[in-house]
Structure 1
Amino acid sequence: MEDRMLQSLPDERAVAWEKALVARVSEYGIFRLTAEGIVASWNPGAARIKGYRAEEIVGKHFSVFYPAGDRQAGVPEAMLQTAREKGHCETEGWRVRKNGSRFWASVLITPLVAPDGSLIGFAKIVRDVTDKRRAHEAVLESERKFRLLVQGVTDYSLFMLSPDGIVTNWNLGAARIKGYEADEIIGTHFRRFYTPEDAVQGLPERGLETAAREGRFETEGWRVRKDGSRFWANVIIDAIRDETGNLVGFAKITRDVTERKVAQEQLENARAALLQAQKMEAIGKLTGGVAHDFNNVLQVLRGNLELLERRHGRDAWSRERLERAIDAVEQGANLASQLLAFGRRQALQPAVVNLAVMLRNMDDLLRRALGEMIQVETVVSGGLWNTLVDPNHLENVVLNLAINSRDAMPKGGHLTLELSNATLDSHYHALPDDVPEGQYVLLAITDTGTGMTPEVMERAFEPYFSTKPEGEGTGLGLSMAYGFVKQSGGHMRMYSEAGHGTTVKIYLPRSMEQVAELERPHTPQVTGGSETILVVEDDKRVQSMVVEMLTDLGYAVLKADDAQSAMVIIKSGVKIDLLFSDVVMPGPVRSTEMAKMAVRALPGLRVLFTSGYTQNAIVHGGRLDPGVHLLSKPYSREQLATKIRRMLGHPDLSVPLHQVADSAAKSVVPLISVLVVDDDAASREAVSELLAEMGYAVRQADSREAALREVTEEVRILVTDIALPDGSGVELARAALQQVPALKIIFASGDEAPLAREVGFAFSSVRKPFSAGQLRSLIEAAGREERTD
């Protein structure tokens, strides 16, 4: 090579030809340097690439083309030295144009020597390869970013497998999810991530075979971490092939989706619970409607049977058959009552009781009902809380559950009734959405019977579902208990396993009040009277039967088919002592509205309602409204006579409907404006009507937005529910106080009221369902504060 470079100076013609050739080249910068590096020639290619004209650069040192850093480092001189020593110098690097911009140059420097071997200069060839450099850098940058991406991903496990399943690389996500560091796992088979049962079945190998055959394999399943714990994984295996189509390995992506799987399972459980709740609610509505009509039919049967019994009861044969027919009516009435209990539509009369006392009083009854083969044990924890519940209905529930347990122990066994205090909170397993957190009294009834399978457990609370032989039981015992407990604001759970007995747990809300004095049962005395009773009943059969029964008891009886006809009689001026009306009435005037108008027209009038299904007309929150008397259908002649005689013969036992409201109206300063806010139209109208009767000017709103439009200086008191469709009643109150600072706030809600320190303003509160007296007291207190202010 040196022999070729050591060449003699060309003759003049050769020089002229070379100059012409160099002058035509524009893609390359070709120029000559002196031995000291001074530019001695310049071609058009050099002018195009570097931006200098020949007269601007010839005579200057070629280091001008180098960046300042390279000049300071002596790079130009080093390149000339390399060319002298090695015969050439070839390199690439950044160079500088005349305008200061940089370009990536491919440079070749060749020494020029005289015939005598002396160095006379250098030939330098430069090419602008910036595009090539940038493409190369882009590739490098892409590879760098890809490496950073793969290594930086921590939510996904990304790694490569050889064709036979050996791990060849490992990212941080794989280390985080699977627990192995790269040096622990590279070189081992990926089978170790599978559960033993899946590995035995050959799932890892089948996954690779599918990916190799189809190009991709995706699945989900349990995988194992280094510490032995399991997680639910979403797995994708892609086959990797080279340019010729040969399999070179697999890319494996794994994601831990355990949380998603748990959420899906919870969603499925919640959906199943919702469907069950909807089914039970639909059945409840159906049974409630059926019970109403059924009770009307039973009332006709019972009343006429009792009338026949009074006329033909002296004949033994007739009396026996009439008694059998009346017993059948009683059974039908019990069925209807159980249907209403399941549908949560019975009229409860709860009282504050201590369940320990109630169970002790039931001890003899239970032992007689269960027989000698069943051992009964009652366990009561110390310091047992009180609860608010209808004791008569609860006794029926306990008796029904105990009889179910007896039937599950045909050869005898052990029945345990346990009472204790309990707190239900977020730690309680699967606390349903309709069960509020709080303190409860727990009644657990456990037997050692045959137990139930999961399939039977799932349907145990459905009405008419029974595993007993046909003719043994109605299938309503558990459903009735379930409906009663839910209507009482409680919670009911059942635990059972085939062959290992059953436990039914009933949670009833704790009451902070003192135990109520319960009225002792007494034998009713059938007595009549001479007072006048107005019977309002749309069912002609029932009406005829009631009129005959009351007439037989000595009463003067008037009758009406609907509320409008009843009001005509009331306004006629005739003396009426008691209004006996069905709750569910046809026509535009409701029975409750008729009763209120009747009481105003006839002060001192007693009002007794009757119904087979109240439809929430006089029952709210599962309880009879204050001051309301109800005789549920079907009723006996004795029950009717006793109820009416007590109401007419003992004035203190009967509080006329809205007497509280009428007396309150006299003591209230009139024309105080009250704004009632509740999205439940029935509740809002009831409260508004009660306030209007007390003498207040009432405004209504069904939402936060509508209420704020009603708030003016004239409004003195705001009575609002806490839960509104477009926001919170607390926020409504806060905004209303900004408009009218003197406004008095009363929260009337089924939820617990917030703490005063949390909301930052003064308020009063009453919890639904509330009495007229409670509302009146709060309104009067707010009025006194308003007048004091």
Structure 2
Amino acid sequence: MNDMPGSLQGVTPKNWRKKRMPITIAFLAMLVLTATFVLFLTYYASDVRSDVRSHTENLLEPHWHAFSRAWDRRVLLLEGLRAFAESNLDGSTSEMGEKYPRFAAVLHRQVEGIRGFSVAPGGVVAFIYPFEGNEMLIGHNLLGDQRPGAGTAVARTLASGEIALAGPYAQTIGGEPTFEAFGAIRGRDGFWGMVSSAIDVRPLLKISGFDGLSQRLALAFRSLDGTVFWGDPAVFQNDPVIRHLEGFGQTLEVGALPVGGWRAAVLPQLTAVYTVGILGILAMTGAIFLFASRHSGLARTIRLRTAELALSDERFQESEKRAEKALRVSEEQLRLALLGTKDGLWDWDIKTDYVYFSPRWKSMLGYAEDELEDHLDTWKSLVHPEDLAQTIAATRDLAAQRTDEFAVEFRMKHKDGHYRNILSRAFLVRNSQGEAVRLVGTHVDITERRRAEEALKTSQALLDKAQRLTHFGGWEMSLAELTFNCSDEIFRIFGVPIRDFKPNLPEFFQMVHPEDKPMVLEHYRESVETGKFRSYEYRIVRPDGSIRWVHSTGEADLNEQGVPVQIIGTLHDITDRKQEQEEKEKLETQLIQAQKMESIGRLAGGVAHDFNNMLSVILGSTELIKARAVLDGPASGYLQEITKAANRSRDITRQLLAFSRKQIIAPKTLRLNEHIHETRKILSRMIGEDLHLNFHPGKDLWTIKLDPFQLDQILMNLIVNARDAMPDGGTATIKTANVVIDTNYMEKHYFLTPGEYVVLEITDEGAGMDKETLRHMFEPFFTTKTLGQGTGLGLATVYGIVKQNNGFINAYSEPEEGTCFRVYFPRANGKEIPPAQEETQSLEGSETVLLVEDSKPVRELIAGILEEIGFTVLAAETPAEALILCEKEDIPIDILVTDVIMPNMNGAELGNKVAAMRPGIKILFMSGYPEDFIAHRGVLKKEVHFIQKPFSMKDIADKIREIMREEIQESD
């Protein structure tokens, strides 16, 4: 102990006085050092605890985010199950049960941690996947679930329609925690049922990496009600780091702290600091004591220190030389590096405006090393005038410490006159007083990069424009996250503002047309299972309610195991093409209908001539028999039946010509109301006593232009149709009205054209017609009546007459709701022609008739009829024979009656030659051919007289008398 420095043993009063002052100084210094160390230790301990807490938060954060994503994804899978159930509501429960296992298997394979999916019609579990291990849940009533929190979650999804969570529950083996997710399903009539899924927490903890943290952190999870379902509950009693997960009506918390607690985490660092601090205090106290007690050694110490400083200065100079050498090496390395990266270097002395420009800096702008002055003005003269102000402002911001970096892009003028895009980066050098003295930086030529970026922008703009013009959009879907990445055109196709649409699978299914959802779901399932994507078409419903047709195509990307991980495809808006296709099909239907009409018309026109000639012989012969013979008994009845059959055949021929629009007509200006009044008695007799006929005439009805015979055909056919629709009796109603068709009216009646019309409406209370019958009702020979009760020509005849007169007809009907026919006649411009007064006149005639007819039976019959009436008949088989007779001036001829269609010379040509030979002669043409066949022969002009075969004795007599009467009026 006597050898220890500062020992007090053997101290004399004289020595004590020498050592008392150093001891006092050392003691006071120790107190100051101890107080300072205690204060430092307090702040340091707080910093250490903050560092440990931050470190704990950093360890926890990525795992918590991974857990959150995995949690949300498993809950959102229930949205896919709900979309499946909603798309199958229209089918039977058994059909849903057949499809459910396949769809649920797809969902179940996508992630770990789903214990099971279930569908509960009416709230009672009917389907569950996987079935094994969950079969006891079949029949479980979710609406009456008594587990804590389950009722609240069920009520929440019933009220809001959103997915709701309940739990945790110890349902798995070993009591592992499980949460239950519920989703309500609503059908057209309200609540339909529910879907649910059970989510195991343990796999989620493993996936998110929490298991690996157990050696470093003490962790615990708890639910909204404070139940700790994983980890040590004591964690939440020791001020842990806490993270929250909220959503779906549930809040989860994770608490974390270092293993052993906060004290154990900071104690090693504090112990080391404490030990070092105590040792430091003792060492410094001893040093101060020694320094204070050794005044005599101070001079020696100064000499020693001076020598050490000299040695140190020598070593410093050597070190400075080494540093200068290292600096030169470093600068050379920097120069070589800049040459390799093609960057230019500059160094600006702020006080003198001297700027060093490296050779690469100058060559970047096309200059040699000696062509530019090293001054700030050189740089200013080369910067584009539009960019100079912002570049200088960035420099000032850096000097004023308003920013920590200098990275500015501007344009500089090349030696050949064009501008280059330059990216400049720099750092500021300050002196010991903090003043900015230098700015050192680099120049990078990014012209080509900017051109590439502009080309990319142009290409992207062209792509966007092409997608917009062609209505093509691109998309990709992650099968892991069930999210979409879409081009802007996709948003336009779906009719939603860009980026407002949530690009995920449930939101997508919400916009698919309900009738197409099962098909889209099936395509999605097939793509996930097989990795193949088939093109298909379906409809979407936009937020505004409009429906669009889209065509989707794509392909799946597979991972190394061959499992699809994403699908990339395109979506094409094909609504316009669909509409064009529908219009094309409509036009094709109309064309087919027109072709049918044309075919029947050709058939009718082809047989009309020969058929009318035969009917002329039959009808004419019966009239001659009646005129020349007196028949009693059965023979008279037989003759009457022959006449009826021939007239019926004549009417059928006229109907065929009418609906094919080949009938020869004589339109007149008519008043529809008056015509209906005149024929009402006949119509009433046609429908019988069991039916009642009402007529509601329109006021101030316009006139129409129509052949009266054709109007009778329309009325009779429509009234007979009404009668046949009401076999047990009822009421048929006739209405008339004026109608003006404009563009607004045409929106609801697309088959009309603008104009003024008179409408004839005939309504019955019969069985009505379905849509299929309505589509075919105007087709010739189409009938719903039994064999022998109808020809199928009635409505076809009406349709042909209406179209022939530039009108329109449409029918409105539903099964058991009756039928309403509306006929639109164009308004006539002329005045009504009053009907001629009937005169009781004799059929006798006295004129001489030149008859020309190439058919012998017809010629002989017509000659017989004319002679029976009293005419003198000159019969000729050919036009040549007729011309020979005309050349004989001694033979008087008052009127020429000739067939139109004859070999070698037609009737019109014969008429012209006869008129030239005998001026003033009257001519009457006759034919059994339809209108379109004889129209271009020039015999249907207004001033030409014509009679249609077959005709009666009275018809031919009246026609000749009418012609001769005109001659008398002209002579007067």
* TM value normalised by structure 1: 0.66
Distance 1:158 1:71, change over 3 A: closer
| SS of residue in 2 equivalent to 1:511 | coil
Partner of 2:189: none
Aligned residues: 625
Distance change (3 Å), C-alpha of 1:505 and 1:522: farther
Tell me if structure 1 keeps the 8 A contact 2:482–2:504.
Answer: no
Q: What is the CA-CA distance between 1:569 and the residue it aligns to? A: 1.9
* C-alpha distance 243-476 of structure 1, shift in aligned 2 (>3 A): closer
Which residue pairs with 1:567 in the alignment?
883
**In the alignment, what sits opposite 2:860?**
544
Letter aligned with residue 278 of structure 1: Q
Aligned partners of 1:172 and 1:409: how far apart in 2?
Answer: 57
Are 1:576 and 2:893 matched, yes or no? yes
Question: Does the 8 Å contact 1:236/1:252 carry over to 2?
Answer: yes
Distance in 1 between the 2:344 and 2:916 partners? Answer: 120
Give the aligned residue type for 1:345: K
Residues 601, 616 of structure 1: alpha-carbon distance in 2 compared, 3 angstrom cutoff: farther
1:466 equivalent among 783, 786, 798: 783
CA displacement at 1:590 relative to structure 2? 2.9
Distance 2:425 2:871 in 1: 132
Q: What is the CA–CA distance in structure 2 between the aligned matches of 1:407 and 1:31, rounded to whole Å?
A: 104
Q: So what's the TM-score if we normalise by structure 2?
A: 0.55
Question: Any residues of structure 2 matched to 1:473-512 within 5 Å, and which?
Answer: 473-512=790-829
Return the letter of the residue paired with 1:220.
E
1:415 to partner: Cα distance: 0.7
Cα offsets for 1:565-614 (capped at 9, x unmatched): 32232233221011111122222x33123223323432342222222225
Q: Which residue number corresponds to residue 57 of structure 2?
A: none
State the Cα distance separating 1:622 from its structure 2 match.
13
Deviation at 1:423, TM superposition (A): 2.4
> Any conservation in 2 of the 1:618–1:628 contact (CA below 8 Å)?
no
Query: How far is 1:161 from its partner?
Result: 3.8
Instruction: Tell me the equivalent position of 1:350.
Output: 667
Q: CA deviation at 1:402?
A: 1.4
Aligned twin of 2:186: none
1:29–1:47 CA contact under 8 A, matched in 2: no
Q: Taking every aligned residue pair, what percent have the same amino acid on both sides?
A: 28
Equivalent AA in structure 2 for residue 576 of structure 1: I
Structure-2 separation of matches of 1:78 and 1:4:
38
Structure 1: gaps (5+ residues)? 83-88, 112-121, 664-789
In 2: Cα distance, 1:623 partner to 1:237 partner: 65
Residues 565, 453 of structure 1: alpha-carbon distance in 2 compared, 3 angstrom cutoff: farther
Deviations 1:619-672 (A, max 9, x none): 599995323333321122343334334544x355787xxx9xxx9xxxxxxxxx
| Amino acid aligned to 1:262 | Q
Secondary structure of the equivalent of 2:483? Answer: coil
1:336 aligns with 2:653: yes
1:32 to 1:298, Cα distance in 2 relative to 1, 3 A: closer
Change (3 A) 1:494 1:401: same
Partners of 2:414 and 2:382 lie apart in 1 by 12
State the match for 1:364 in structure 2.
681
Partner of residue 744, structure 1: none
1:232 aligns with 2:551: no
The residue that corresponds to 1:456 in the other structure is 773
2:450 to 109, 132, 137: 137
Q: Which residue of 2 aligns with 1:162?
A: 478
Whole-Å Cα distance in 2 between the matches of residues 5 and 137 of structure 1? 47
Q: Which runs of 5+ in 2 are unaligned?
A: 1-315, 400-405, 429-437
1:283-682 to 2 correspondence within 5 Å? 283-314=600-631, 316-426=633-743, 427-428=745-746, 436-521=753-838, 525-529=842-846, 531-573=847-889, 574-587=891-904, 589-616=905-932, 625-648=941-964, 650-651=965-966
Structure 1: how far apart are the matches of 2:322 and 2:475? 63
Taking only aligned residues, the RMSD between alpha carbons, in angstroms, comes to 5.0
The CA distance in 2 between the partners of 1:509 and 1:41, in whole Å, is 93
Mapped to 1, the partners of 2:600 and 2:892 lie a distance apart of 45
2:592 aligned partner, one-letter code: L
Deviation at 1:97, TM superposition (A): 6.8
- Counterpart code for 2:746: Y
Q: 1:557 to 1:182 in 2, by over 3 A?
A: same
Task: Tell me the residue number matched to 1:741.
Answer: none
Deviations 1:666-696 (A, max 9, x none): xxxxxxxxxxxxxxxxxxxxxxxxxxxxxxx
Q: 1:62 to 1:617 in 2, by over 3 A?
A: closer
Q: Give deviations 1:127-167, integer Å, cap 9, x for gaps.
A: x964xx35543554466557767887766565554334324
User: Aligned partners of 1:357, 1:471: CA distance in 2, in Å?
Assistant: 35
1: CA distance, partners of 2:923 / 2:679: 34
Change (3 A) 1:91 1:474: closer
Structure number with higher helix proportion: 2
Equivalent-residue separation in structure 1 for 2:937 and 2:667 (angstroms): 11
What's 2:160 paired with? Answer: none
Aligned AA for 2:929?
Y
Query: 1:95 offset after TM fit, Å?
Result: 7.2
Alpha-carbon separation, structure 2, partners of 1:517 and 1:91: 98
CA distance in 2, matches of 1:42, 1:215: 59
Residues 319 and 254 (structure 1 numbering): CA distance in 2 closer, same or farther, change over 3 Å?
same
* Cα distance in 1 between the residues matched to 2:425 and 2:319: 14
Residue 545 of structure 1 aligns to which amino acid in structure 2? L
Give secondary structure in 1 for the equivalent of 2:783.
Answer: coil
Q: How far apart, CA to CA, are the structure 2 residues paired with 1:446 and 1:302?
A: 37
Q: Structure 1 residues 98 and 541, CA, compared in 2 at 3 Å: closer, same or farther?
A: closer
**Structure number, greater radius of gyration:** 2
Deviates more, 1:310-319 or 1:564-573: 310-319
Q: Is the 8 A contact 2:477 2:485 kept in 1?
A: yes
CA distance in 2: counterparts of 1:28 and 1:96, whole angstroms: 18
- Taking the aligned partners of 2:323 and 2:870, their CA distance within structure 1 comes to 155
Instruction: Give the match for residue 586 of structure 2.
Output: 269
